[in-house]
Amino acid sequence: MTTTKARSYAAHNATAPLAPLTIDRREPTPTDVEIEILYCGVCHSDLHTARSEWPGTLYPCVPGHEIVGRVTRVGDGVKRFKSGDLVAVGCMVDSCRTCPSCQAGLEQYCHAFPTLTYNGPDKFLGGHTFGGYSTSIVVDEAFVLRVPAGLDLAATAPLLCAGITTYSPLRHWKVGPNMKVGIVGLGGLGHMAVKFARAFGAQVVLFTTSPGKVADGLRLGAHEVVISKEAGAMRKHLASFDFILDAVSAPHDINTYLSLLKLDGTLTLVGAPGEPLPVAAFNLLLPRRNFAGSAIGGIRETQEMLDFCAAHHITADIELIPIQHINEAWERLLKQDVKYRFVIDMASLKAG
Ligand code: NAP
Ligand code: ZN
Ligand code: ZN
């Protein structure tokens, strides 16, 4: 198969800094869209993967699954996109398309496992897929999203993972008016969750370990911000929440949050620390609480989320960086020091 070259930044092992790497992209097949990447968000999953905090990382690893770009070429059979269109790609670039999950528009739960944008099997070129820390990508049109007019492009990139990963569970558990909703952790996912929960009409309480984020939490839409290390402030909220979304990237005490749920309340994990989180049985038994999880969102719902964001003027709060600053950005992510998503300006990779 013929290929074209793209520039990228890659991790070559679990500890080395990301460094430049030239990679191959396939020539567009009849159903493919070739995209010049303009912006790519920096998700904590990039770091979990590249640092082998989750099992199964293949090297070299080119992370990045919050991609916004411009179409440069399309295959003969592509119907929905043309050269020049502004488009986006999230965490998946393919799935089996036939299993019940895929047919229900829930490709993220594909029974054969979706092909992830990076670190998935590349059925065209062999080896594994390379993500958005690169100048271009080629994706089947079925997994390409349309960027609605009027959205700031750099601030839209994080919607493709942080946005959909929080929008989907808030919709699934029907968050809305008359619901008391907790968001745990004000990072990339957490800050989008605060914005969406507020836009859906809920009473929003943010839990943070960082006293320096209280003012931002309120500005982003929380009605109240609780410093989770203050036991007295936590006790005030015992058994009072309908729903809590936990977006924390590191091991932490989940039982504290379970005890804040009221009868039939649900705590949903979207954060994905590498180690197990112990759950005390009685925190679930009494009073009949639910502990759940949720992964990203399907393609149809991702488009719905982008359209909702355009209609409600919602995007991420970002720090735009040149790709040469990526290693420093990852160090800051580990220190909970991000406001609230790093986005790579890919012009820096084309120039450098
Ligand atoms: P992030 O921007 O680094 O934010 C994580 C936040 O968690 C931090 O800002 C901090 O908030 C809190 N936190 C970090 N370490 C903590 C600790 N030791 N104890 C308590 N709180 C801590 O990360 P992200 O990109 O939003 O991703 C969050 C998690 O979701 C990651 O594990 C990521 O892999 C996962 N994820 C899952 C999905 C999915 O499909 N389910 C999709 C994308 C990402 P405060 O400073 O406010 O405490
Ligand atoms: Zn992500
Ligand atoms: Zn499937």
Interatomic CA distance for residues 347 and 279, integer angstroms: 46
Q: What is the DSSP letter of 132?
A: S
pLDDT 10s digits, 80-115: 999 999 999 999 999 999 999 999 999 999 999 999
Interatomic CA distance for residues 122 and 19, integer angstroms: 22
- pLDDT-derived band at 351 (thresholds 50, 70, 90) equals confident
Reported in sequence order, the residue ranges of 66-163 that DSSP labels E, i.e. its strands, are 67-74, 86-89, 92-94, 115-116, 136-140, 145-146
Interatomic CA distance for residues 282 and 255, integer angstroms: 10
pLDDT 10s digits, 5-61: 999 999 999 999 999 999 999 999 999 999 999 999 999 999 999 999 999 999 999
Interatomic CA distance for residues 58 and 251, integer angstroms: 24
How high is the pLDDT of residue 350? Answer: 85
Give the distance (Å) from ligand 1 centre to CA of residue 177.
26
**Ligand 1 site-directed mutation target among 336, 337, 343, most atoms within 8 Å of CB:** 336
CATH topology assigned to domain 3-161+297-304+315-350: Quinone Oxidoreductase; Chain A, domain 1 (3.90.180)
Interatomic CA distance for residues 36 and 69, integer angstroms: 5
pLDDT 10s digits, 169-222: 999 999 999 999 999 999 999 999 999 999 999 999 999 999 999 999 999 999
Give the distance (Å) from ligand 1 centre to CA of residue 219.
20
pLDDT 10s digits, 123-170: 999 999 999 999 999 999 999 999 999 999 999 999 999 999 999 999
Residue with tokens 């929960």: 197
Which atom from ligand 1 is nearest to the alpha carbon of 295?
40
pLDDT 10s digits, 64-83: 999 999 999 999 999 999 99
Query: Is pLDDT of 352 > 70?
Result: no
Measured between alpha carbons, how far is residue 154 from residues 49, 147, 220 in Å? 23, 11, 18
- Least distant ligand from the CA of 206: 1
- pLDDT-derived band at 326 (thresholds 50, 70, 90) equals very high
- pLDDT-derived band at 1 (thresholds 50, 70, 90) equals confident
Mean pLDDT of 257-270: 98
Residue whose CA is at the smallest distance from ligand 1 atom 18: 250
Interatomic CA distance for residues 324 and 193, integer angstroms: 29
For ligand 1, residues with CB inside 6 Å are 43-45, 48, 161-162, 165, 185-190, 208-210, 213, 247-250, 252, 270-273, 294-296, 333, 336, 338
Mean pLDDT of 268-296: 96
Q: What is the DSSP letter of 28?
A: P
pLDDT 10s digits, 197-207: 999 999 999 99
Residue 130 backbone zone (phi > 0: left; psi -120 to 50: alpha; other: beta): beta
Which atom from ligand 1 is nearest to the alpha carbon of 43?
25
Q: What is the pTM of this model?
A: 0.98
Measured between alpha carbons, how far is residue 348 from residues 65, 66, 285, 326, 351 in Å? 18, 17, 53, 11, 5
Residues of the chain with CATH 3.90.180.10: 3-161+297-304+315-350
Residues of the chain with CATH 3.40.50.720: 163-293
Which candidate, 205, 206, 202, 204, places its Cα nearest to that of 178?
202
For the chain, give the mean pLDDT. 97
Residue whose CA is at the smallest distance from ligand 1 atom 30: 271
How high is the pLDDT of residue 306? Answer: 98
**Ligand 1 site-directed mutation target among 249, 268, 305, 337, most atoms within 8 Å of CB:** 249
CATH architecture of 163-293: 3-Layer(aba) Sandwich (3.40)
- 183 CB-near residues (< 8 Å, 6+ apart): 190, 193, 194, 197, 204, 205, 206, 207, 222, 244, 245, 247
pLDDT 10s digits, 221-233: 999 999 999 999 9
Residue whose CA is at the smallest distance from ligand 1 atom 15: 250
Interatomic CA distance for residues 248 and 123, integer angstroms: 33
- pLDDT-derived band at 274 (thresholds 50, 70, 90) equals confident
A 10 A CB-CB count for 103 gives 11
